[in-house]
Every structure is written in structure tokens, then in C-alpha cells.
Chains A and B, each alone.
Chain A
Amino acid sequence: GDSVTQTEGQVTVSESKSLIINCTYSATSIAYPNLFWYVRYPGEGLQLLLKVITAGQKGSSRGFEATYNKETTSFHLQKASVQESDSAVYYCALSASGTYQRFGTGTKLQVVP
């Protein structure tokens, strides 16, 4: 079946430093699934951060970006300079049909001063 892998359970980054959160996917039901990053801030619901539905394209939002790489089946999330307000849990997800998502295990980002 389809699956998403996030290898880091928690990441701690100093403010203004760069960030990369790794995500790889495996899709057996469809060649090119839609890929997403969701974010959940403390005490809030799940929010869509960015999505890319075309292989080779890059999505960006709030300073974050991720490129859909079909060769390496990866969709890593990057930000050049993080802020304390970016502290949250980030989930990578894929969707083959659009009707539901398969989520990764989530990466908790802690930004320290």
C-alpha cells in the first residue's frame, strides 16, 4: 500500500538557522500521488502548509518549501531561517485519490532562541 516515512521524530533548531525535515514516500496505487505538508501548532487543528500535485514542481508557503522529487521519491521540507513561532508538529502526507491522505509519523520541530 501507499506509505510515507519521516525519519526524525523531533528536531531542535536554533532561531534563524536553516531547517530540513525529511520525507520519503512509496506509492503503489498511483504513479504520481499528490504530496502535502501539514502543520499542527500547539492547541490547534491540522492545517495545510503546502501541497504539490505535479512531479518536479516546488511548493512554498510561509517561507517553507518542498520539491516533489519523483526520482528519489522524496518531498523534504526546508526553510532558510526558522523562527520560534515555527515550533509545531509537521506531517508529510500523500493522496492517491484526493479523498483521503496517508500521513507520516510527524516531526516535532522545536525552535530555540
Chain B
Amino acid sequence: GALVYQYPRRTICKSGTSMRMECQAVGFQATSVAWYRQSPQKTFELIALSTVNSAIKYEQNFTQEKFPISHPNLSFSSMTVLNAYLEDRGLYLCGARDGGAAEQFFGPGTRLTVL
């Protein structure tokens, strides 16, 4: 079956430091990976969409300078939160899709706490 893993599941970082999180697809080819953030009391907000062999598209209010993403192959993607501050805390979710499939498979999320 298709599974998506995310590492780490929880992490704490000091304000102003950076934190890298990973997303791994197993059982299918992750031709596109979407990264989302759920801030406290909010819904899942799309950060960016990464498609293999295409440029990464960031949503308004999110930038490559703040959330650089790597998607080097069809099973792995990573995103870094640079210079994290309190407003960056929340649950970061990755959703991966295989080519023409109608849905994404989601990982369990990485919960980021910023002190």
C-alpha cells in the first residue's frame, strides 16, 4: 500500500534557529509533494507545491527564503523552516501524489514548537 512517513514527529527549536523536516513516500512514486502548515486554531494552509522536474511553487505569504524545499527524487522531500519564530509553530504536513492519481497521501505530520 501507499504510505507517507514524516520525520521527526515532534521537534522543539529555539527562536531564531532552523529546523529541517523530512517526508518519505513508500509504495508509490511521489511525483508531486505539497507541504502544509496547521497553526494553532487554524486549518491546513498550503505552503508550497513541489513537482519533480519543475519549479517549486510557493503560496502567498510563504517564500523559498523562509521555507526552502528539496525534492530530489520520487520518494523523498524535505523542507527547512529557517529562522523560526513563534508564529512558525504548528503541525507541518506533507501530502504526496503519484502522477494522475485523484488524491494525495498524507504523512502524520511534524509538530514544531518554538521556544
Which chain A residues have a beta carbon within 8 Å of chain B's beta carbons?
Answer: 34, 36, 38, 44-48, 51, 53, 91, 95, 98-106
Contact: A100 with B102, CB < 8 Å?
Answer: no
The listed residue (B36, B93, B103) touching A98 by CB distance below 8 A is: B103
Contact: A103 with B102, CB < 8 Å?
Answer: no
Stretch of B12-20, B41-49, B63-71, B80-88 contacting A (4+ beta carbons < 8 Å): B41-49
Nearest-Cβ distance from residue A37 to partner chain B, whole angstroms: 12
Given A44-B108, A99-B51, A100-B49 in contact, is the A106-B43 Cβ separation under 8 Å? yes
Contact: B95 with A51, CB < 8 Å?
Answer: no
Contact: B43 with A101, CB < 8 Å?
Answer: no
Given A51-B103, A53-B102 in contact, is the A100-B43 Cβ separation under 8 Å? no
The CA-CA distance from A48 to B43 in the complex, in Å, is 16
Contact: B95 with A100, CB < 8 Å?
Answer: yes
B contacts with A, residue count (CB < 8 A): 21
Chain B residues in 8 Å Cβ range of A101: 34, 44, 46, 95, 104
The CA-CA distance from A95 to B100 in the complex, in Å, is 13
Chain B residues in 8 Å Cβ range of A45: 106-109
Given A36-B103, A46-B93 in contact, is the A99-B43 Cβ separation under 8 Å? no
Contact: A91 with B34, CB < 8 Å?
Answer: no
Contact: A51 with B32, CB < 8 Å?
Answer: no
Chain B residues in 8 Å Cβ range of A36: 103
Contact: B101 with A102, CB < 8 Å?
Answer: no
Kindly supply a per-residue 1/0 record for chain B positions 6-47, scoring 1 wherever the CB is within 8 Å of any chain A CB and 0 otherwise.
000000000000000000000000001010100000111010
Chain A residues in 8 Å Cβ range of B34: 99-101
The CA-CA distance from A38 to B32 in the complex, in Å, is 20
Contact: A104 with B43, CB < 8 Å?
Answer: yes
